[in-house]
Amino acid sequence: MSQGASFGARLNDAILERGALCVGVDPHAYLLSEWGLPDSASGVEQFGLRVVDATAGRIGIVKPQVAFFERHGSAGYAALERVIRAAREAGLLVIADVKRGDLGSSVEAYGQAWLQPGSPLEVDAMTVSAFQGLGSLDAPLRLAAEHGKGLFVLAATSNPEAAAIQQAVLASSRHSAARTMTVARAIIEDVTAFNQTQPTASFASVGVVLGATLDLAEFGIDTSTPAASNILPVLAPGFGHQGAQLADAARIYGALVAGLIVSESRAVLSAGPDGLADAIGKRAAEVRSTLG
């Protein structure tokens, strides 16, 4: 996997080589207890490193949930830095689940923290929020393009509180169909338009987050045709513990299933440190057989 390639190209390679399963590195307090680890910076680091060991060679993508490290302060961030470094050295693509969003120099600093080569927190991609408009993310978009990194923009999330906003219809925008276009659909359209300005690759480098437990039609999202000539990466939480069934992936995502990344954490992490590698291997095989 060439480190000089775009994120989209490296994502394509990872999926071809290891399948579309992405395991979340989510050291919940109850999981730390079940694993016999302390609820401390040391505990989350040991948890993260064990997940890396279990995933390396079995899947191609991991997604640390930064909040579980952040709650332990600076020591938690130091632990996260070591977990990220171990994952990248193991050849895994690392998506930082940070959901950052702001504007101007503030959001640029977020982008530098996670996407700038040489940063202690450097990852391959990060999740971002476009609540202030995709244009507010110009700096992270530029950094991602410059450094071969990726972004996943929240579009339709599975928490029920989000529906009222994400299903809302735009009053005005640059889109010709603004008065019939939902916020969620507009984000997808804006991401697709940005990707079309970038060098062509099988996979685009900027994707979206679409929850697997949703009826995407209720969010005004058309899944009948691909979003563009290159494949739109779709980070899909909700399979496994949250109840979405892998067998329903094609029905849920339609043509967007080509770019699907199946994100699971508790469903496999609950196997514990001794059963984790086997659980990941089995789930990865199920994802590959279902999605191809």
Residues 6+ apart with CB under 8 A from 189: 175, 181
Q: b or e along 246-273 (b: 16 or more beta carbons within 10 Å of the residue's beta carbon)?
A: beebeebbbebbbbbbbbbbebbbbbeb
| Rounded-to-integer distance, Cα 127 and Cα 14, Å | 18
Identify whether 99 is a catalytic site residue. yes
Residues 6+ apart with CB under 8 A from 255: 223, 224, 225, 226
Helix (H, G, I), strand (E, B) or coil at 95: strand
Which is the catalytic residue, given 63, 99, 149, 282? 99
- Number of helices (H) and strands (E), helices first, in the chain? 12, 8
The dihedrals phi and psi of 282, each to the nearest 5 degrees, come to -65, -45
CA angle 25, 292, 156 (to 5 degrees): 55
Query: Around Cβ 217, how many Cβ atoms within 10 Å?
Result: 11
- Residue 175 is classified by DSSP as S
Residues 6+ apart with CB under 8 A from 45: 79, 80, 82, 83
Query: Catalytic residue numbers?
Result: 99
